[in-house]
Amino acid sequence: MNADKVRIFRAPGRVNLIGEHTDYNDGFVMPAALDFSTWVKISSLEEHRLQIFSENFDEEIEVELDDQNLVARDHWSDYPVGVALVLERAGHPLRGARLQIRGEVPIGSGLSSSAAIEVATVCALVANSDLKIDSRELALLCQRAENEFVGARVGIMDQFISLFGQASKAVLLDCRSLEFRLLPLPANIRLVICNTMVKHALASSAYNERRAQCEGGVAYMAKFLPNVTALRDVTIKQLEEHASGLDEVVYRRCRHVITENTRVLSAGDALERGDLDRFGELMGESHRSLRDDYEVSSEELDLMVEIGKKIEGVYGARMTGGGFGGCTVNLVADSHVNEFRERVSREYERATKLRPEIYVCTAANGAEEIF
Ligand code: GLA
């Protein structure tokens, strides 16, 4: 072991173009990695311990990797510590290490700052411990850290795209098989992300509640349809046939997921044909379904979408990520980006007194070692 060697890893946040709250229903999603990242600098320690310093919070924590009593504290360090514990518990012995973390993904904005820190940490710990684990497994381990240690029952989308993202491409991921298709994003299009500046708390009960409602729907329908193990397996016709036995809210949650899966597949075909108008329409339908059936939008997100979609050069606009605040994603012709930025800022601020942040992005590469 070379105690002096320092290595640096980077993992990006993401924006989801379409396919929201479908990943934990074994469905389809279409995210792209962003050019916002989290960096982890790592070097080995002799002791079986992690020293983790966050530049963003200007704070250092220390944990013994053999400590059986570590629990989440609702603290930034829950993510890297959770990843380390999950690795060890899965039988991947870690070397002690010092980690220095710097993140530029806006926190709590639906752009997956949590997946970025998890994935950058997992890449750093694995390399520093001379382990070989394939990237799909790494994504699953990070998801497990968030599910079991942090306590947010998130799906696989964010961790997966943070590892598998590719420049200029959206990724159509089947969250059941983890097979994916790369879809080219036209060069004259920008992914413009508008931050409502209202933060969400993903670990909050509303996300886990949605997940439980979907599971309730599946449990009911599986009584009649034995091959159904997730909403992925249910058609809209089957849902309608069993609607009378379902709680009205659960019915609408299921309807969102089932129709959203269909929209993702149609959006994939539209992108392959270069049909951005159709893609944009599907984004609009997705937003309405998230607002009315899944009820994870917010007044600010709805307003931001309304402002964005009427501006010239905008193909589509919708909320992105878990919801309850955070960001919208807009597909905008690059010739109209400046006008878009000005109008959204002005109109949103006028209506809410909040000054939005607007990020003009292109799809970027997934996690990598920097040097
Ligand atoms: C969060 C979760 C994802 C996914 C989205 C909603 O980003 O981390 O797994 O469920 O919400 O699509």
pLDDT surpasses 90 at 178: yes
pLDDT surpasses 80 at 64: yes
Q: Alpha helix locations (H) across the chain?
A: 78-89, 113-128, 135-144, 157-164, 205-222, 236-242, 248-273, 276-292, 299-309, 337-352
User: Is 21 touching ligand 1 by the criterion CB < 6 Å?
Assistant: yes
Residue 160: name the closest of 176, 168, 148 by CA.
176
For the CA of 155, the closest atom of ligand 1 is 9
**Ligand 1 centroid to residue 118 C-alpha, Å:** 14
pLDDT band at 152 (very low <50, low <70, confident <90, very high): confident
Q: Please measure the distance between the N-terminal and C-terminal CA atoms of the chain and give it in whole angstroms.
A: 18
CA angle (206, 211, 213) in 5-degree steps: 90
Each residue's pLDDT tens digit, 252-306? 999 999 999 999 999 999 999 999 999 999 999 999 999 999 999 999 999 999 9
Separation of alpha carbons 193 and 358, rounded Å? 6
The pTM is what? 0.96
Pairing of strands 314-320, 327-333: antiparallel
For the CA of 154, the closest atom of ligand 1 is 9
133: amino acid identity, one letter: I
Separation of alpha carbons 99 and 44, rounded Å? 9
Separation of alpha carbons 118 and 129, rounded Å? 16
User: Residue 23 is encoded by which pair of tokens?
Assistant: 């990943």
Each residue's pLDDT tens digit, 197-247? 998 765 468 989 999 999 999 999 999 999 999 999 999 999 999 999 999
User: Is 308 touching ligand 1 by the criterion CB < 6 Å?
Assistant: no
DSSP states of 79-94? HHHHHHHHHHHTT-PP
- The residue from 23, 158, 233, 293 that is catalytic is 158
Separation of alpha carbons 359 and 341, rounded Å? 9
Separation of alpha carbons 315 and 332, rounded Å? 6
Q: Cβ neighbours of residue 223 under 8 Å, at least 6 residues apart?
A: none
In this prediction, residue 202 carries a pLDDT of 53
Span 63-69, average pLDDT: 95
User: Is 260 touching ligand 1 by the criterion CB < 6 Å?
Assistant: no
pLDDT band at 66 (very low <50, low <70, confident <90, very high): very high
Q: What proportions of the chain, in percent to the nearest 5, are helix, strand and coil?
A: 45, 25, 35
Each residue's pLDDT tens digit, 81-113? 999 999 999 999 999 999 999 999 998 888 999
Separation of alpha carbons 133 and 87, rounded Å? 10
Separation of alpha carbons 343 and 345, rounded Å? 5
Dihedral sign for Cα atoms in the order 192, 274, 314, 310: negative
User: Is 26 touching ligand 1 by the criterion CB < 6 Å?
Assistant: no
Does residue 271 contact residue 264 with C-beta atoms inside 8 Å? Answer: no
* Helix axis angle, 205-222 to 248-273, nearest 10°: 100
User: Is 233 touching ligand 1 by the criterion CB < 6 Å?
Assistant: no
For the CA of 112, the closest atom of ligand 1 is 7
Dihedral sign for Cα atoms in the order 259, 252, 223, 20: positive
275: annotated active-site residue: no
